[in-house]
Amino acid sequence: MFTGIIEGLAEVTSVARAKKGADTVMRVKMGRMARGLKMGDSVCVNGACLTVTKLLKGEAQFEMVAETMRRTSLGEVRPGDRVNIERSMRVGDRLEGHFVLGHVDGTAIVSEKIETPSETTMWFQLDNKELASALVEKGSVAVDGISLTVVDVSGGKFSISLIPHTLGITTLGLKKKGEKVNIETDVLSKYVAKNLPKQ
């Protein structure tokens, strides 16, 4: 369980096909975020909950199955790229964002990025338009693991507004039009949508 409050950016040092048991192995230089990290811990990497399978000198290794590579944008990550990192919640932690499971629902493309001195508005085109049914204005969404508030939903698109601080400490400050992001809709919206009668 996560909150969508990013602890920092980490650098991907290698991405390779796994020799056995998984599809892909990724290594990430965790820096200060490696402190206290153990094998078997859950870490949210760009919104996907991954398990630490090896630790060596501040680098964490994560193994990913084929479903993770299909469902998320992690298949496009390359050495040198930076990723959003959040370690799992502890019981008693303050919940600053919203409940984020790290179970990515799908991906979206940055369709527009409008920058002003006080804020940046980003529009995302969902790859699966059905995900829009779980998005509501002023509701929560996790974009690459970042807890954000939905500003507008229109068809298969939605927008968010970002303050300079968020742009400076997450990968959204690096994203350009046409780039892919991971989307996790609010878990509460999912259950509501599932239990509504079909129209």
Q: Residue 199: its pLDDT value, please?
A: 62
Q: What sign for the dihedral angle of Cα 103, 98, 145, 29?
A: negative
Partners of residue 100 on adjacent β-strands: 2
Residue 81 backbone zone (phi > 0: left; psi -120 to 50: alpha; other: beta): beta
**CA R_g for the chain:** 17
Cα–Cα distance between 147 and 57 in angstroms, integer? 30
The tens-digit pLDDT sequence of the chain (199 residues) is 899 999 999 999 999 999 888 899 999 999 999 999 999 999 999 999 999 999 998 999 999 999 999 999 999 999 999 999 999 988 777 778 888 999 999 999 999 999 988 899 999 999 999 899 889 999 999 999 999 999 999 989 999 999 999 999 999 999 999 999 999 999 888 777 777 776 6
How many CB atoms sit inside 10 A of residue 53's CB?
15
56, with CB counted inside 10 A (0-12, 13-18, 19+), is: exposed
- Write down the pTM of the prediction: 0.92
Our CA angle for 109, 112, 113, nearest 5°, is 115
SS3 (DSSP) at 139: coil
Q: Are 16 and 24 in contact (CB under 8 A)?
A: yes
The set of residues, in sequence order, having a beta carbon less than 8 Å from that of 120 and lying 6+ positions away, is: 113, 114, 161, 162, 164, 167
Q: Identify the residue whose tokens are 């944008």.
A: 73
Distance separating the N- and C-terminal Cα atoms of the chain? 32
Q: Residue 1: its pLDDT value, please?
A: 87
Q: From the centroid of its chain, how far is CA 39?
A: 21
Q: Residue 123: its pLDDT value, please?
A: 98
Cα–Cα distance between 12 and 28 in angstroms, integer? 4
Q: What is the DSSP string of 27-58?
A: EEE-GGGGTT--TT-EEEETTEEEEEEEEETT
